[in-house]
Amino acid sequence: MVIENEKLGNLSGEKYTNQFGITAIKDGMKKTSDASLNSRLRKPEWLKVQLPTGKHYKTLLQDVKAHGLNTVCQESKCPNIGECWNRSTATLMILGNICTRACRFCAVDTGNPKGWIDPLEPNNVAETVSLMALDYVVLTSVDRDDLPDGGARHIAHCVTQTKAKNPKVLIEVLSPDFSGSTASLDVLLQSTLDVFSHNIETVKRLTSLVRDPRASYHQSLDVLMHAYENNIITKSGMMLGLGETDDEIITTLRDLRSVGVSLMTLGQYLQPTKYHLDVARFVSPVEFNRYKEIGLGMGFKEIVAGPLVRSSYRAEQSFLNLLNQI
C-alpha cells in the first residue's frame, strides 16, 4: 500500500531513486522533445468537477491524514472521491507504486522494483480498511513482472487478512494480467475476493498503441474467461476518446460478454501529462448513455458509464445490484 509519496521534487518524465534504491520514471513516460501540444485543449463543460464535500468524507480525510495513509483516490486526484468516501468505498493500491510496465495512458511511475515487497502490507491494508470503516474496498495493483507469480500470492494475502479483520467488508480486486499465467490467477481466485476485475482498457486495434507490449487484448480476454470459469463475478473497464470507432466499442463490449463479464465501466480518457497519448475526442454524456444501453442489451448486468467514471466508481452499488438480479 502506498504510504508516502516518494516522487516529490521530481519532474514528470524524469528518473529518480526512492528510499529503497529503486530507480523509476515519474509518471511512467520518459521526457521527450516531441511532447503533446494538445495538453492544453479546453475541456468541455461536462468534465468540470465539484470539490468533494460531505460529513463522512471530511471525517475520513482527517483520519487518513492523522495516520499518514494514502489512497489511490487521493494519489490520482479522482473526481469521485467525495461521493465514494461518503458511501464508505475506497480504492487502495498495493505492491508499491512503481509498475514494471509503461502503458501510454497511465501516470503510474515505471521501473523495476527487483522483487521488493512490503511484508507488512497485508496487515496494513486490513488496518486501513478497519480505520476507514469501509463497506466495500477495491484493491488494485501495479504490474509486477519482476516477481515469479506477478504478485498474486501477495495480493491474495492482502485479501485474506483484510477479510479476517473485517468479515463484513466486500473486496473487489482490480488485477494485473499476470502475463496470462493461470497458476498465478488461481492463487488469487482461491482467496476470498468477491469480484475479480481486469480492464481491457481499449479496443483491439489500439491495444498495441495504448498498452505496454507485454499486455494484449486477447490475453486480457483469456484472464477474464479463466476467472469466470472459476465461478467468480467478473468486471472490466474501457477508456473512450483514444480514437476508437463506434463499431470497435460495440465489438469490444460483445467480446467481453462472450467471456462472461457481467460488470462494466466506461469512462473518458484524459491525458495525465504532455508525454502521454493525446485525447482524440471528448465523448459526450449522451454517447456514454447510448453505449451503456447497447451493453445492457447484450446482457451485461450493470454498466457504469460517463465522462468522469473510473474503474472503481460506484463499485459497491454495481455489485449489490448484480446480486439482486441473481
| Cα 144 from Cα 99, distance rounded (Å) | 6
Burial of 186 (0-12, 13-18, 19+ CB in 10 A): middle
Residue 102 has pLDDT above 80, yes or no: yes
Residue 40 has pLDDT above 80, yes or no: no
**DSSP annotation string for 151-176:** THHHHHHHHHHHHHH-TT-EEEEE--
- Mean pLDDT rounded to a whole number for the chain: 88
Residue with cell 469501509: 134
**More confident call, 84 vs 128:** 128
pLDDT tens digits, one per residue of 193-204: 999 999 999 999
pLDDT at 22: 84
Going along the chain from its start, the domains and CATH numbers come out as 50-325 (3.20.20.70)
Burial of 118 (0-12, 13-18, 19+ CB in 10 A): middle
| Cα 165 from Cα 132, distance rounded (Å) | 13
For the whole model, what pTM was predicted? Answer: 0.88
Beta-carbon contacts of 213 under 8 Å, excluding residues fewer than 6 positions away, are none
Q: What is the CA radius of gyration of the chain?
A: 19
The residue count of the chain comes to 326
| Cα 253 from Cα 215, distance rounded (Å) | 18
pLDDT at 2: 42
pLDDT tens digits, one per residue of 166-182: 999 999 999 999 999 99
| Cα 181 from Cα 260, distance rounded (Å) | 19
Residue 51 has pLDDT above 80, yes or no: no
Least confident of 26-35, 179-188, 275-284: 26-35
Please give the backbone phi and psi of residue 256, each rounded to the nearest 5 degrees, phi first: -65, -40
Task: Identify the band that residue 8 occupies on the pLDDT scale cut at 50, 70 and 90.
Answer: very low
pLDDT tens digits, one per residue of 203-232: 999 999 999 999 999 999 999 999 999 999
| Cα 270 from Cα 308, distance rounded (Å) | 9
CA dist 149 → 3, 177, 179 (Å): 24, 11, 9
